[in-house]
Structure 1
């Protein structure tokens, strides 16, 4: 058995391309570092801005989100909820509650394709911090784990901003939506500071406003889903919106010659097996873009495209047939493509 783990940012390469020239070059600053098990970078116009203050505020915000939502921090808010063994209605902070409401919304929109209660399955399949057990789970074991899964097993009390478990072993994992929320929060922070030109990226989830250092609209390249290589599939121009990409090729393992994706289908408890290799979603809220990208990866290309058409969500899909890659996008995505 071979186990492959790629922790590097997933799909997107951030690129800037000069489309116009400026007589006077504005000053831009870049902040980067580790966060949420991946890397972040923030590029912003810093004329007349205290860059050290910006850096401190960004880091404080990221630390706060991590402390609230990480399953890797023992005393995080999410882990304190997960450790409950009674039917107490656990009251959440405003930030975590906002993410939970969005997760619940996308769960119902996608008929369960997006589910934040997959923790037991994620751990068993070996895509979490826990050590992978050296065999593929049996159907019987998966059936037992599925009894612990389902956002519908979380009882939301909207008036009290709290959630009650329907069973003590239900747990929450926000890894498929928290990075998108963090991108939105950092973007809001920059806007509140009066910064009108910036690009925020966390682990390949990105949001931009205004123009890059050359005075051109920010351009973002979507990678081809090729192992150990970085090749562009398409480039998009984004202003005051965001993009998130989900793919199956940088986090997987191979057992008995069969490849298992890191994306688990909540309906079956098993990793997806269809030919959708990558999907990119453009949406004003990166939190929603992040969740939609995960849900549509679960759906597969046909269902994902139908859902995107129904919701008028811009999507770019890459499918794999052996070594051959094919792409398709809808009319809402096409208007963002750069030539």
Structure 2
């Protein structure tokens, strides 16, 4: 996934690290566009219209991605691979591409069936906005299967906490703040809860002197230009927190917060304003902090 992971586990067994690395290796083998032999690469190479059998975990992520795409009116799109490559963020960076007409929704070109999927147009899957969150959930599931119930998992800035620490304190974490912006530190307790953050400072490219965010608006086919510095979402599922953070980032302060509020999400958005910043918070998150 091109990132790091860490785990704090109460009463950890010696082989916990091996279990975690095995889980992550399995996810990479299914969902990494950077691995030519992965299931996602195999799917993207399949002829248009041909059904491809896929593992259960893969289908879980794809179904969730399509669901968030529907609920966000395409602001999140798991079939955005052509655009990711075209703007220089994928394994085929700089590959020729066509963004298509504004408002095109690539996810509608993917059909799902029982354990199978197929492309109905020249689109490719990219799970970079959801796979890390799924990986956090998968590691947590593996640890629970081992009988462990108190831990904090982190993968590339996405976290999940279960139970409490040995001192009976919850797993307190500070939400990641965009570098260079002065904003109040928000500390949250993760107990059966996950948090994911999408930020314009994590990955970007510079073209013609312009800094382009890795967050691409599938509707316009171009990197976002809405001054959103970061979005953090708290959710029972790290996978859904990850995908929703991406969708809200693309939608921007007004539409994004409206959608998050409508779906009862606990979210905070930080927008760049001149040399400063402005925070937006959903009622659900505000209630959690009371």
Q: TM-score, normalised by structure 1?
A: 0.80
Cα shift readout 1:265-289 (whole Å, capped 9, x = no counterpart): 0110011111221110011011011
CA gap 1:97/1:244 in 2 versus in 1, 3 angstroms: same
Q: Where do 1:291-302 residues align within 5 Å?
A: 291-302=243-254
Alpha-carbon distance, 1:336 to partner: 4.3
Among residues 146, 162, 165, which one is paired with 2:116 in the alignment? Answer: 162
Q: Shift in Å at residue 335 of structure 1?
A: 4.3
Asked if residue 58 in structure 1 is aligned to residue 14 in structure 2, the reply is no
Shift of 1:93: 0.7
The aligned runs of 1:1-339 (5 Å cut-off) are 36-46=1-11, 49-52=12-15, 54-132=16-94, 141-143=98-100, 150-157=106-113, 160-167=114-121, 169-226=122-179, 233-337=185-289
Counterparts of 1:60 and 1:124, CA distance in 2: 32
Asked if the contact 1:252–1:261 (Cα under 8 Å) also holds between the matched residues in 2, the reply is yes
Per the alignment, in what secondary structure is the counterpart of residue 183 of structure 1? helix
Structure 2 residue runs of 5 or longer lacking an equivalent are none
Q: Is the 8 A contact 1:238 1:336 kept in 2?
A: no
Greater radius of gyration (CA)? 1
Give 3-state SS (helix, strand or coil) of 1:155's partner: strand
Are the aligned partners of 2:150 and 2:163 in contact in 1 as well (CA < 8 Å)? yes
Q: CA-to-partner distance for each residue in 1:303-331, whole Å, 9 max, x for gaps?
A: 11111111111011111012211112123
Q: 1:272 to 1:120 in 2, by over 3 A?
A: same
Maintained 8 Å contact 1:309/1:330: yes
Aligned in 2, Cα 1:51/1:335: closer, same or farther, shift over 3 Å? Answer: farther
CA contact (8 A) 1:107 1:151 kept: yes
Deviations 1:186-230 (A, max 9, x none): 111111212111001100110001112433111111232125x99
- Give the paired residue count: 290
| Partners of 1:209 and 1:241 within 8 A in 2 | yes
Say which structure, 1 or 2, has more relative contact order (CA 8 Å, 6+ apart): 1
Is the Cα–Cα contact under 8 Å of residues 84 and 90 in structure 2 kept in the other structure? yes
Q: Which runs of 4+ in 1 moved over 6 A?
A: 144-147, 229-232
Contact 1:120/1:145 (<8 A) preserved = no
Cα deviation, 1:247-303, whole Å, max 9, x if unaligned, reads 112212233333211111011001111122111001101101100000111100111
Q: From the superposition, tell whether residues 50 and 222 of structure 1 become closer, same or farther in structure 2 (CA, over 3 Å).
A: closer
- Note closer, same or farther for the CA distance 1:208–1:108 as it changes in structure 2 (3 Å cut): same
